[in-house]
Structure 1
Amino acid sequence: MSSTKPLPMLEGEAAAPCCPPLTERPLTAEEAERTALMFKALGDPVRLRLFSAIASHEGGEACVCDISDVGVSQPTVSHHLKKLREAGLLSSERRGTWVYYRVEPSVIAAMSQMLGRSA
């Protein structure tokens, strides 16, 4: 069992980012830890491709059968998807024999807000 904690981004329908914009103030130790988990999960090229494939898929979700062609074996795809889920970047739902993955819009909004420039 992993000791990683999902990023606390989802709060109702509004995005509740884990951290303030990076240009607003220095991150606390706890904020930096949570943010590092997200960047670590996205720091692998295969994970980044999977995340992008899911985020850009029609309807905002994708069946594992639609996104598994990233140049690695199916067990490796499953491993990377698990890491993205553990970081709080994806949610999943089993439908019959397939698993569907989704990037919640609030996750994208929170990431954008954190990386965006403050006006």
Structure 2
Amino acid sequence: MQGLKTVTPVELMKLLADDTRLTSVVAMTSGPRCVCDLMDILQLSQPKVSRHLAILREAGLVETERRGQWVYYSLAPQLPAWVAEVINTLAPMVLTSVPEHMINPGESSACC
């Protein structure tokens, strides 16, 4: 997939069909996340989280921003409205499986 502007509904569903990618995307709806934040939320290793983030980045669903030594991931600001609507529709159901204290962006993580 080259750029999210041409993503089809089937391609989006394939991206979001993985628990790790779906939960990561939903976590980013409340703001940028560093890999260590997502590791805590997902309870997964750094290589596994990074691999899934790379898939989302290559598809154009997320963007990165370097802040010192840390890289933060956020939803791409140019997402088509229908893509944002799908993510926002799924978010409440996904968030029921994530402890609330882990999803609040106001709390700083241990690494950054």
Q: TM-score range by the shorter chain?
A: 0.5 to 0.7
By how many angstroms is 1:85 displaced?
Answer: 0.8
For structure 1, the residue ranges without an aligned partner over 5 or more in a row are: 9-17, 19-30
- 1:5 pairs with 2:2: yes
Match in the other structure for 1:86: 58
Match in the other structure for 1:64: 35
Higher-Rg member (1/2): 1
For structure 2, the residue ranges without an aligned partner over 5 or more in a row are: 90-112
Q: What are the Cα deviations for residues 6-62 of structure 1, in whole angstroms up to 9, with x where unaligned?
A: 212xxxxxxxxx4xxxxxxxxxxxx6xx43332211110111111111112xxx212
By how many angstroms is 1:84 displaced?
Answer: 0.8
2:12 paired residue among 38, 41, 59: 38
Does the 8 A contact of 2:60 with 2:76 survive in 1? no
Q: Kindly indicate which of the two structures has a greater share of residues assigned to helix.
A: 2
State, as a whole percentage, how many aligned pairs show the same letter: 44
By how many angstroms is 1:108 displaced?
Answer: 6.4
Match in the other structure for 2:29: 55
Summarize the Cα distance change of 1:105–1:37 in structure 2 as closer, same or farther, 3 Å threshold. same
TM-score (norm 1): 0.60
Alignment: residue pair count = 85
Match in the other structure for 2:69: 97
Q: What are the Cα deviations for residues 59-110 of structure 1, in whole angstroms up to 9, with x where unaligned?
A: x212222222212211000000011111111001122211011113442633
SS in 1 for 2:4: coil
Alignment partners' CA distance in 1, 2:18 and 2:62: 15
Does the 8 A contact of 2:62 with 2:73 survive in 1? yes
